[in-house]
Amino acid sequence: MSQSPSHVNGKLYVVGIGPGSLEHMTLRAHTVIKEADIILGNGTYLDQIKDLVSTQQVFRSSMGHEVERAKKAIDLAVDNKVVMVSGGDSNIYGMAGLVLEVARQVDLSVDIEIVPGITALSAAASLLGAPVVTDFAVISLSDLLTPWEVIEKRLHAAAEADMIIGIYNPKSRQRNTNFQKAIKIIRRSRVDTVPVGIVRNALRTEGESVTVTTLGNILDHDDEVDMRTTIIIGNSESGIWGSRIITPRGYHKKYDY
């Protein structure tokens, strides 16, 4: 996007700030946040980067006002260096898509840079050991923007294909039964002994918790699952070693060790 018209002096950065702690943020994210004139984001994410804020102007908004926030960021970026913060990675259920969609719609060619970040799946996987070293699918259980029938279809297909499954947005106040429904669908095509990891507040400074269980027992841990949790369901070859999950990549079939 280098064709900014001459009246555009600013730039818009959509920045994935990683799972929570500053140590797990990229250097690029750190730099653009420090050098921004204006930062926009929802309260949770702004709290996570508060140590990087000094003279930047900050606009806090609540969840559910994403379209407004994207429009405002684009307007402000005509004359300012603007950072729109997004949790984890800026693509994966993040703000990158909406910002580019709105920019295309209003046909205002501000310079936009998408800065990636560590996504919740990578953060959760690292705490569990090595559950995601081969093919995987990530599915969000939020049916605010995707119809539930489509989510069911994807869950079924991923389970049938023996993909490792990462579940985002497992629950919210409005949707606390979607998780149980999803597990029921996965259990149709995956055995109960398959390892499952439940990771809450991964790599955040507060509230981190990690549980390793199995598909057959996961609903006993239903109360540990909330909107700050990522679930990883292993494939048919995944195993448990102490407090860790390991999915073999296949080396053992070729080499002795």
Segment lying near ligand SAH (by CB under 6 A), choices 40-48, 60-68, 71-79, 193-201: 193-201
- Asked if 132 interacts with ligand SAH (CB under 6 A), we say no
Identity of the residue, 92 or 218, whose beta carbon is nearer to ligand SAH in the bound complex: 92
CB of 215 to ligand SAH, least distance (A): 18
3-state SS, residue 2? coil
Provide the minimum distance between the beta carbon of 87 and ligand SAH in the complex, in angstroms, as a whole number: 5
Count of residues of this chain found to bind ligand SAH when the rule CB under 6 A is applied: 26
User: Measured from the CB of residue 124, what is the shortest distance to ligand SAH in angstroms?
Assistant: 6
- State the amino acid at position 70 in one-letter form: A
Region near ligand SAH per CB under 6 A, out of 107-115, 168-176, 214-222, 236-244: 168-176
**Binder of ligand SAH out of 14, 17, 19, 98 (CB under 6 A):** 19
Q: What is the 3-state secondary structure (H, E, C) of the chain?
A: CCCCCCCCCCEEEEEECECCCHHHCCHHHHHHHHHCCEEEEEHHHHHHCHHHCCCCEEEEECCCCHHHHHHHHHHHCCCCEEEEEECECCCCCCCHHHHHHHHHHHCCCCCEEEECCCCHHHHHHHHHEECCCCCEEEEECCCCCCCHHHHHHHHHHHHHCCCEEEEECCCCCCCCCHHHHHHHHHHHHCCCCCEEEEEECCCCCCCCEEEEEECCCHHHHHHHCCCCEEEEECCCCCEEECCEEECCCCHHHHCCC
Site for ligand SAH in 212-231 (CB under 6 A): 227-230
Q: Which is nearer to ligand SAH, 80 or 232 (CB)?
A: 232
Residue 178 as a binder of ligand SAH (CB under 6 A): the answer is: no
**Out of 204, 219, 224, 239, which residue is the one contacting ligand SAH (CB under 6 A)?**
204
User: Interaction with ligand SAH in 80-99: which residues (CB under 6 A)?
Assistant: 86-89, 92-94
User: Which positions lie near ligand SAH, rule CB under 6 A?
Assistant: 19-20, 86-89, 92-94, 119-120, 123-124, 168-170, 199-204, 227-230
